[in-house]
Amino acid sequence: MTVLPVPARRRARRVTSRAVEGQELVLAGVIAVLWLVLGLVTSTFFTASNLQNILFTMSGVAIIGVGMTAVIVTAGIDVSVGSSFAVVAVIIGRAVRDAGLGPVPAVLGALAVGAALGLVNGILVAYGRIHPIIVTFGTMNLFRFVAYQIFAGQQVDGVPPAFAFLGGGAPGRTLGVPNAFLLAAVLAALAWFAMRYVPTGRHLYAIGGDAVAARLAGIRVSRRLLGVYALTGLVVGLAACVTIGGSGTVQQNFGTGLELEVIAAVVIGGTSILGGRGTVLGTVLGALLVATVTSAVTLLDWSSDLTQLFIGVFIVIAVGVDLVRERRRRNL
């Protein structure tokens, strides 16, 4: 056998890990084009109030999306967020109205309640070893029951403006930007940083890629899973504060369908539902896209029902593009 000389190295272009992934750039591009078109077609898109509205609408989904992204990266899912959202909202709404809780203890309380609910999911997933979708379908019903018990048949009206600083009105803005959005942005930035630079954050990707191999590599898988579900509960608590701040009332149907909205934003943002891949930045962009479409449908005077149709189409396109890319990469 002839020994071949070492071949000249192929100079194949490789995708190195960049701060911004391809899908995120595409998404940002789509949003930019949409904004441009909407700016040209409507006279009201680039008004302060409309932009403030878009940013405020997206913040709730973006805040919960931070936790959901982490959960989905570990190849899990949490469909109970809508219900835990309602539990936090009614508890804190009543505490503020009936017990006169101040803003700071109220926010802390919301975080604690949310985290406790998330912990329930986390324990069942990590130590009960039940499939996350089954666990969270169960707790979704259970949490909704808890919320109804606390509502006791009445929505919570007239919540004093303890959370006005997070609301959609004038007191909830800093230099014209909604504080809720700033909060979401800071949170997302922290999560993005943590999932990129903190060892524990990187471990989430390993767990989603191959939980068994991750365990063999010395990663404490159960503890990390417990962590991400608890974190999701925590951010749900925060999102509830934002929403109470926005409306001043807590309705009994609070949070129904929220889980799907959040999952949609995460998926549009390029996170793989199979785990191991995805970023919080993508999720924020996904939430922004959904909020933009919602606003566009209103501004263009189209039927608001079209919004959901567009979300569905965006999901199919986002995931479809990703599937095609993966397939091409495998055939490389």
Partner 1 sequence: MTVTPEVGTGAAEGRVGPARRALRFLLADRVALLCVLLVVMLVWLRVLSAGGYLTANYDAAYLASTMDQFVPLGLLGLAQFAVMVSGRGGIDLSVGAMVSLTGMAFGFMVGDGGWPLWVSLIAAVACGAVLGAVNGFLVAYLRFPALIATLATYYGYSSLALLTNSHAPISTPPVQNLIALTQPVDLPGNIGIPLQVFTFLLPCAVLMWLLVNRGTYGRKLYAIGTNEIAARFATIDVASVRFRAYLISGVLSGVTAVVTVAQFASARPDAGTTGNGMALPSITIAALGGVAIAGGVGRVGGVLVAALLVVWLNAGILLAFEGNAGSQYQLAALGILLVVSALLNEFMVRGRPRRRRRPR
Partner 2 sequence: MATALPRELLRLRGIRKRYGGVTVLRDVDFEVRAGEVHALVGENGAGKSTLIKIASGAEPAGGGTITVGGRRLAGGSTTAALDAGIATVYQEPQLFGELTVAENVFIGRELRRRGLVDRAAQRARVAELLARLGLDPAIAEVRVADLPVAEQQLVSIAKALTGPARVLILDEPSAILTDREIERLFAAIRTLRADGVGIVYISHRLDELAVIADRITVLRDGAVVATKPVRELCVRSIAELMVGGSLAEPGASAATSGDGPVLLAVAGLGRTRAFAEVSFQVRAGEIVALYGLVGSGAEHIAGALYGISPADTGSIAVGGEPVRVHSPKDAARAGIGMVPADRKVAGVFAGKSVGFNISVGDLPALSRVAAWVDRTREREVAAGFIRRIAIKAPGVASLVSTLSGGNQQKVVLARSLAGRPRVLLLAEPTQGVDVGAKEEIHRVVRGLAEDGSAILVVSSDLREVLRLADRVLVVRGGRIGPEFGRSAAQADILAAAAGDPVGGGGARS
Catalog residues that contact partner 1 under the rule CB under 8 A.
77, 79, 124, 128-131, 133-135, 137-146, 148-149, 153, 253, 256-257, 260, 263-264, 267, 273-274, 303, 305-309, 311-313, 315-316, 319-320, 323
How far is Cα 280 from Cα 303, in angstroms, rounded to an integer? 31
**Sequence letter at residue 196:** R
Nearest distance from C-beta of residue 18 to partner 2, angstroms: 9
The vertex-262 CA angle with 260 and 263, nearest 5°, equals 65
Out of partner 1, partner 2, none, which partner does residue 264 contact, by CB within 5 to 8 A per kind? partner 1
Asked if residue 105 binds partner 2 (CB under 8 A), the reply is no
With tokens 């990703």, the residue in question is: 322
Assign 174 to helix, strand or coil: strand
Out of partner 1, partner 2, none, which partner does residue 202 contact, by CB within 5 to 8 A per kind? partner 2
Asked if residue 300 binds partner 2 (CB under 8 A), the reply is no
Structure tokens at 181: 């959005």
Out of partner 1, partner 2, none, which partner does residue 199 contact, by CB within 5 to 8 A per kind? partner 2
Whether 67 and 292 have beta carbons less than 8 Å apart is answered as no
Structure tokens at 260: 């799907």
How far is Cα 116 from Cα 323, in angstroms, rounded to an integer? 36
Query: Could you tell me which residues are beta bridge partners of residue 173?
Result: 178
Binding mask 267-296 toward partner 2 (x if CB under 8 A, else -) reads: ---------xx-------------------
The vertex-290 CA angle with 289 and 292, nearest 5°, equals 65
Nearest distance from C-beta of residue 210 to partner 2, angstroms: 6
Specify the residue, 236 or 263, whose C-beta has the smaller distance to partner 1. Answer: 263
How far is Cα 317 from Cα 240, in angstroms, rounded to an integer? 30
Distances (CA, A) of 9 to 3, 13, 16: 17, 12, 17
Nearest distance from C-beta of residue 78 to partner 1, angstroms: 12
Out of partner 1, partner 2, none, which partner does residue 138 contact, by CB within 5 to 8 A per kind? partner 1
Out of partner 1, partner 2, none, which partner does residue 301 contact, by CB within 5 to 8 A per kind? none
Q: Which of residues 193-222 bind partner 2 (CB under 8 A)?
A: 197-199, 202-203, 205-206, 208-210, 213-214, 216-219
Q: Give residues with Cβ within 8 angstroms of 39, minimum separation 6.
A: 45, 46
Q: Give residues with Cβ within 8 angstroms of 287, minimum separation 6.
A: 58, 61, 62, 65, 265, 269
Specify the residue, 94 or 202, whose C-beta has the smaller distance to partner 2. Answer: 202
Interacting span for partner 2 (CB under 8 A) from 15-23, 84-92, 144-152, 175-183: 15-23
Instruction: Catalog residues that contact partner 2 under the rule CB under 8 A.
Output: 1, 3-7, 9, 14-17, 197-199, 202-203, 205-206, 208-210, 213-214, 216-219, 276-277, 329, 332
